Structure 1
Amino acid sequence: MTAMASDRPLWRRDSRRSTCHVRQIAMYVCHVVLRLSQADIGVAFGRDRTTVGHACNRVEDRRDDVAFDAFVSAVERVVLSVFGPAGIGSHE
């Protein structure tokens, strides 16, 4: 999805930054859409819960940008279509 959303080629120096931004969006979606705890997300990503909190704050701050907000909203819709609303259904 990130490759399709980009309007410019990905340069080598941008690769690390892009990976970081993608991870931040993934952490944000896990917390906001899937309602996972920051501690659980941190474990899953091999990061500390404070890093997850920072990622969520960064994504929230960037959502003022209309294009970024549209992209994150699209990711949220995809996650919801795959996993359904958080807390719905039975887990056996």
Structure 2
Amino acid sequence: MSADRLPLFRDARRARCHVRQIAMYVCHVVLQMPQSEIANAFERDRTTVRHACCVVEDRRDVADFDVFLEAIERSVASAFAAQMERDE
């Protein structure tokens, strides 16, 4: 791999990591899934899920990111509301 492509590869990897962290956070916060179940679903360790939740929570201090995350949380809650009501 050439040196000029390394930053692009790193940026793409970082973006995938952030998306996965947000997904883990939403599963835990919105869907109330235990971290061990999330870890199994994402084929990661439970401590990785805990770290992801901490990273996303820290990023919520940025107003734009917080607005973005609130929209995702609303969408997920809405999408799973019918399923959650059936399970109760």
Shorter-chain TM band: 0.7 to 0.9
Q: Work out the number of aligned pairs and report it.
A: 81
Any runs of at least 4 consecutive aligned residues in structure 1 with deviations exceeding 4 A, and if so which? Answer: none
In structure 2, what is the equivalent of residue 50 of structure 1?
A: 47
Unaligned runs of 5+ in 1: 1-10
Distance 2:71 2:86 in 1: 26
Gaps of 5+ in 2: 1-7
Cα deviation 1:23-64 (Å, max 9, x = unaligned) = 000000000000000000000000011100000000000100
Please say if residues 38 and 52 of structure 1, whose CA atoms lie closer than 8 Å, have aligned partners that are also in contact.
Answer: yes
Does 1:33 pair with 2:33?
no
Superposed counterparts of 1:1-92, under 5 Å: 11-84=8-81, 88-91=84-87
Contact persistence 1:33–1:85 (CA under 8 A): no
Determine if contact 1:34/1:85 at 8 Å carries over to the other structure. Answer: no
Equivalent pairs: percent with the same residue? 59
Question: What's the TM-score, normalizing by structure 1?
Answer: 0.80
Q: TM-score under structure 2 normalisation?
A: 0.84
Q: Once structures 1 and 2 are overlaid, which stretch shifts more, 14-23 or 77-86?
A: 77-86
Greater Rg by CA: 2
